[in-house]
Amino acid sequence: MKKESEILLRLNDVKVHYGGVKALDGVDVILDEGEIVAIMGPNGAGKSTVIKAIFGIAPIVSGDVLWHERKVSPVSYEMVERGISYVPQGRRVFRDLTVRENLEIGGYTIRDKKIVKERMLEVLDTFPDLQKKLNDRSSTLSGGQQQMLAIARGLMTSPKVLLLDEPTLGLSPKIVKEVFAKIDEINKKHGTSIIVIEHNIKSLLEIATRAYLLDKGKVIFCGSTDTLENSGLLEKVFTGALHEDKTCQV
């Protein structure tokens, strides 16, 4: 009998305000064990704010973040210790440090140096191209290699959950394909649950299990990627043609 998947993360009626702007207006999101969840929407919809709220870097006005169905107060370093890793957009690597040093920083919460080395070997098994660049400064890497390094660094703590914000931003179509293949591999090989925010909708829907579509800080769709593709909502939202007050309750 197949084991029922566990809910790892839940956002319950979360509201985030930046001054007078309602970045999130009562958002519900669920991430189950072992799945890839896509979060999509036009610019300013609140996509990045969702994972920033999870990771403790967005001002939650009200609502709850639950980890294993227990309410937590999101603080970044505590979320890392719980098993959540966040990779922000923009290929954020330490450019003056080597690839090895970047990976070591990714394992900063691990006290045992032996475990850090073991984790690095595991990560390099997933990203073999970085193995050849270990002693190179990350500034000498291509844009695609820097993005792979940013993701690899996020895996150094062997997280249960990986939060990816626009991982293919500014990359060529060939590299975009490679990044999505790597995300899919991480999910299947390690069982890592992943939330991805991405503008490249077609590629994301190919690997995601479920999707959330946001508009003006609200979730207007939650469900399977197939259902979303056939709903017509994507076209309406991205062309500004959605006029009805549509909400989705998890």
Q: Give tens-digit pLDDT for 165-199.
A: 999 998 899 999 999 999 999 999 999 999 999 98
Could you tell me the pTM of the whole model? 0.91
* Chain centroid, CA 91 distance in Å: 13
CATH superfamily of 7-89+160-238: P-loop containing nucleotide triphosphate hydrolases (3.40.50.300)
Which residue, among 2, 56, 60, has the nearest Cα to 27 in the 3D structure?
60
Q: CA 240 to CA 250: how far, in whole Å? A: 24
pLDDT, residue 157, reads 93
pLDDT tens per residue, range 53-77? 999 999 999 999 999 999 999 999 9
**N-to-C CA span, the chain:** 26
Q: How many helices (H) and strands (E) does the chain have?
A: 10, 10
pLDDT the model gives residue 116: 92
